[in-house]
């Protein structure tokens, strides 16, 4: 029997699992997808919010402020990219400057440090491409940007290093209350746990309703984005919001930690929790709103679009509490924005709730907060590069030409704890396929490497979801020769998944 089952390996469940790995408890992290960070965590604005806009006293306000302050240390420990680039909320009229002043006051109530109200000249010094209509802004220097899926992957790697068991491809089909805990039914096995932490994102209501009558509903709300090429990455320096209006927070323009430019999100009611398509209307809408904030955005440099779904509820705040009807079952639900920013503090808060139920937890003496760093090959010095290639020639072979990612890096991230098994898994961890061609050139090579390293058939390699096959069958007639076949020396050889094929 496990002590604790955490459901959902998004950023929230993964932070909780890693926090629990500091204690002598047996923890399992259960995820229905074939990789971690495959839900909302992979498609959001990636902002570590300053924390001035949530209503004071709410869980969102308290945990955003606390969470933001923890990012420097956790990203250092886990070797994850994080930059405090600062955030701006821009006003376009004197009337909007009044809203900026009330946001500032709210920030003070939320304990947000070092905020400043800027006039137009001060704003221009920070952002030279700001619109001619901008009159001033609220500046929060603690606002930042992070790699959300890199953070989640690193959290899970570190949690697993510290003893957490990760179960991927494990959709929870039912949960039954027992005298001393819960029986959790997965597709292929049943497991028991004394306590359950429900961090299932959009599906947290469904999981909750397995053990209790319905007390909340998660409503999906879609946000679409445009991602610009790195050559547009310097168009802005900080996270730039528009002054909130009765229609919402407006679109945001920001640099990403890897030097791209990101524009989004829209806010659209959708019918299902799978509606992650992007639309022409969405892109049009983003363009219209963005041009209000920033001049000369180079829309010919958009390299991809994507969307994510917010997990909203009617109350508007996070729901983090023990279920009223199910003892030892803790809901961590309705974690929409600023869930990423608050996640480190959510994890501590949840462990405190658990302590209140289960009693004091015994700390581990050998907890290791650091994860083996993933250093991109191109960030090494010339001497380090030569040394790496000498040790393993795969570091001398570039696979992704847009992002300059080597075969050595791809092999490394496949063989890590909770390593990549899919094309998007490689993309999220090593950035192969993140560049201008979006995997058009390197995709087939990445598939070959995954098949070879994981001893799979190339036709079994998927893009992201379990059934997202890329190849269904071979299209050219090939004959398989035994390695000792004399024809081998004559034929044009190709090694795929450990087998030699000769083109006929
Ligand atoms: C458009 C948009 C913009 C945002 N921008 C920001 C931002 O800039 N800053 C910020 O702080 N926050 C932002 N957020 C919010 C942030 O992305 C979320 O709060 C955060 O990602 C939620 O993480 P999670 O782990 O709760 O959910 P998820 O990442 O969705 O993880 C839940 C996991 O549970 C799994 N699961 C579900 N059902 C089951 C089951 N039956 N069995 C097993 N596993 C299951 C899912 O597969 C999933 O992996 C934004 C959100 C959106 C949509």
User: Does residue 492 share a domain with residue 454?
Assistant: no
Q: Residue 466: what pLDDT?
A: 86
In this predicted structure, the answer to whether residue 486 has a pLDDT above a threshold of 90 is no
User: Does residue 14 share a domain with residue 94?
Assistant: no
Ligand 1 in contact with 268 (CB < 6 A)? no
The span from the CA of 200 to the CA of 40, in Å, is 10
Q: Select, from the ranges 393-397, 492-496, 499-503, the one with the highest average predicted confidence (pLDDT).
A: 393-397
* Closest-CA residue to 191 (of 393, 459, 6, 428): 6
User: Does residue 147 share a domain with residue 63?
Assistant: yes
- 480 exposure class (CB count in 10 Å sphere: 0-12, 13-18, 19+): exposed
SS (H, E, C) 2-50: EEEEEECCCHHHHHHHHHHCCECCCEEEECCCCCCCCCHHHCCCCEECC
Tens digits of residue pLDDT in 65-78: 999 999 999 999 99
CA distances from 190 to 2, 176, 178, 457 (A): 12, 10, 13, 30
In this predicted structure, the answer to whether residue 247 has a pLDDT above a threshold of 80 is no
CA distances from 40 to 43, 147, 149, 242, 361 (A): 5, 13, 10, 23, 30
User: Does residue 179 share a domain with residue 76?
Assistant: yes
- 491 exposure class (CB count in 10 Å sphere: 0-12, 13-18, 19+): middle
Q: Which of 265, 280, 311 is the last residue of a domain?
A: 311
In this predicted structure, the answer to whether residue 344 has a pLDDT above a threshold of 80 is yes
User: Does residue 225 share a domain with residue 133?
Assistant: yes
Q: Residue 245: what pLDDT?
A: 79
User: Does residue 487 share a domain with residue 428?
Assistant: no
Average pLDDT over residues 79-87: 97
Cα(143) to ligand 1 centroid in Å equals 20
Ligand 1 in contact with 71 (CB < 6 A)? no
In this predicted structure, the answer to whether residue 268 has a pLDDT above a threshold of 60 is yes
Tens digits of residue pLDDT in 294-303: 999 999 999 9
Q: Residue 477: what pLDDT?
A: 64
Which segments of 279-338 does DSSP mark as H helices, in order? 280-293
Atom 4 of ligand 1, nearest CA residue: 44
Is the separation of the CB atoms in 35 and 424 below 8 Å? yes
Tens digits of residue pLDDT in 157-191: 999 999 999 999 999 999 999 999 999 999 889 99
Q: Residue 355: what pLDDT?
A: 97
Q: Residue 497: what pLDDT?
A: 52
Q: Residue 491: what pLDDT?
A: 47
Q: Residue 334: what pLDDT?
A: 98
Q: How many domains does the chain have?
A: 4
Q: Which of 311, 343, 362 is the last residue of a domain?
A: 311
User: Does residue 126 share a domain with residue 223?
Assistant: yes
The span from the CA of 450 to the CA of 426, in Å, is 9
**Catalytic status, residue 49:** yes
User: Does residue 172 share a domain with residue 66?
Assistant: yes
Which has more confidence, 385 or 247?
385
Ligand 1 in contact with 30 (CB < 6 A)? yes
* Closest-CA residue to 346 (of 3, 63, 23, 25): 63
User: Does residue 317 share a domain with residue 307?
Assistant: no
Q: Residue 480: what pLDDT?
A: 54
Q: Residue 176: what pLDDT?
A: 97
In this predicted structure, the answer to whether residue 342 has a pLDDT above a threshold of 90 is yes
The pLDDT mean for the chain works out to 93
This prediction's pTM: 0.93
Atom 1 of ligand 1, nearest CA residue: 223
Ligand 1 in contact with 335 (CB < 6 A)? yes
The span from the CA of 207 to the CA of 202, in Å, is 10
Cα(262) to ligand 1 centroid in Å equals 19
User: Does residue 419 share a domain with residue 392?
Assistant: yes
Q: Which of 267, 296, 311 is the last residue of a domain?
A: 311
503 confidence band (pLDDT: 50, 70, 90): very low
User: Does residue 299 share a domain with residue 360?
Assistant: no
* Closest-CA residue to 419 (of 377, 371, 378, 383): 371
Q: Residue 188: what pLDDT?
A: 87
Cα(268) to ligand 1 centroid in Å equals 17
Q: Residue 502: what pLDDT?
A: 46
Ligand 1 in contact with 337 (CB < 6 A)? yes
- Least confidently predicted of 32-36, 246-250, 475-479: 475-479
Cα(346) to ligand 1 centroid in Å equals 13
User: Does residue 482 share a domain with residue 358?
Assistant: no
In this predicted structure, the answer to whether residue 365 has a pLDDT above a threshold of 60 is yes
Tens digits of residue pLDDT in 195-242: 999 999 999 999 999 999 999 999 999 999 999 999 999 999 999 999
Atom 15 of ligand 1, nearest CA residue: 337
Q: What is the CATH number of the domain that holds 295?
A: 3.30.9.10
Which residue segment(s) compose the domain that 488 sits in?
474-504
Atom 27 of ligand 1, nearest CA residue: 201
- Counting atoms of ligand 1 from 1, which one is nearest the CA of 170? 43
The span from the CA of 200 to the CA of 7, in Å, is 6
CA distances from 28 to 70, 191, 340, 348, 405 (A): 24, 10, 22, 17, 33
* Closest-CA residue to 254 (of 337, 141, 144): 144
């Amino acid at each position: 029997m496990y002590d604790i089952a955490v459901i959902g390996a998004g950023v929230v469940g993964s932070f909780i699992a890693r926090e629990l790995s500091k204690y002598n408890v047996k923890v399992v992290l259960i995820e229905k997808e074939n990789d971690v960070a495959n839900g909302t965590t992979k498609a959001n604005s990636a902002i570590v919010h300053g924390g001035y806009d949530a209503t004071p006293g709410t869980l969102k306000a308290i945990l955003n402020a606390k969470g933001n302050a923890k990012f420097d240390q956790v990203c250092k420990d886990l070797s994850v990219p994080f930059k405090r680039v600062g955030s701006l909320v821009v006003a376009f009229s004197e009337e909007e400057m009044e809203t900026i002043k009330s946001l500032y006051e709210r920030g003070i109530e939320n304990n947000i440090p070092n905020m400043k109200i800027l006039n137009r000249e001060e704003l221009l010094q920070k952002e030279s491409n700001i619109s001619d209509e901008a009159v001033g802004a609220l500046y929060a220097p603690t606002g930042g940007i992070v790699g959300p899926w890199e953070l989640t992957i690193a959290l899970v790697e570190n949690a697993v290093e510290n003893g957490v068991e990760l179960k991927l491809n494990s959709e929870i089909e039912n949960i039954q209350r027992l005298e001393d805990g819960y029986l959790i039914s997965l597709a292929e096995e049943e497991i028991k746990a004394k306590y359950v932490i429900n961090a299932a994102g959009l599906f947290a209501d469904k999981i909750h309703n397995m053990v209790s009558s319905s007390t909340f509903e998660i409503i999906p709300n879609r946000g679409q984005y445009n991602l610009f090429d790195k050559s547009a990455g310097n168009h802005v320096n900080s996270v730039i919001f528009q002054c909130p209006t009765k229609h919402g927070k407006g679109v945001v323009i920001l640099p990403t930690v890897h030097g791209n430019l990101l524009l989004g999100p829209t806010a659209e009611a959708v019918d299902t929790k799978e509606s992650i398509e992007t639309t022409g209307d969405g892109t049009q809408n983003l363009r219209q709103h963005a041009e209000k904030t920033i001049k000369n955005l180079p829309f010919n440099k958009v390299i991809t679009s994507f969307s994510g779904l917010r997990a909203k509820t009617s109350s508007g705040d996070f729901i983090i509490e023990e279920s009223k009807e199910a003892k030892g079952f803790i809901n961590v639900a309705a974690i929409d924005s600023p869930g990423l920013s608050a996640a480190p503090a959510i994890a501590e808060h949840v462990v405190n709730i658990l302590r209140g139920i289960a009693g004091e937890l015994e700390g581990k003496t050998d907890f290791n907060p650091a994860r083996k760093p993933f250093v991109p090959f191109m960030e090494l010095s010339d001497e380090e590069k030569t040394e790496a290639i000498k040790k393993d020639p795969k570091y001398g072979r570039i696979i992704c030409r847009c992002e300059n990612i080597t075969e050595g890096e791809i092999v490394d991230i496949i063989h890590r704890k909770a390593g990549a098994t899919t094309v998007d898994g490689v993309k999220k961890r090593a950035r192969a396929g993140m560049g201008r061609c979006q995997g058009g050139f390197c995709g087939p090579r990445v598939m070959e490497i995954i098949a070879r390293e994981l001893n799979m058939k190339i036709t079994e390699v998927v893009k992201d979801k379990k059934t997202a096959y890329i190849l269904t069958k071979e299209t050219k007639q090939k004959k398989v020769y035994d390695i000792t076949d004399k024809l081998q020396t004559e034929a044009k050889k190709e090694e795929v998944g450990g087998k030699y094929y000769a083109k006929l």
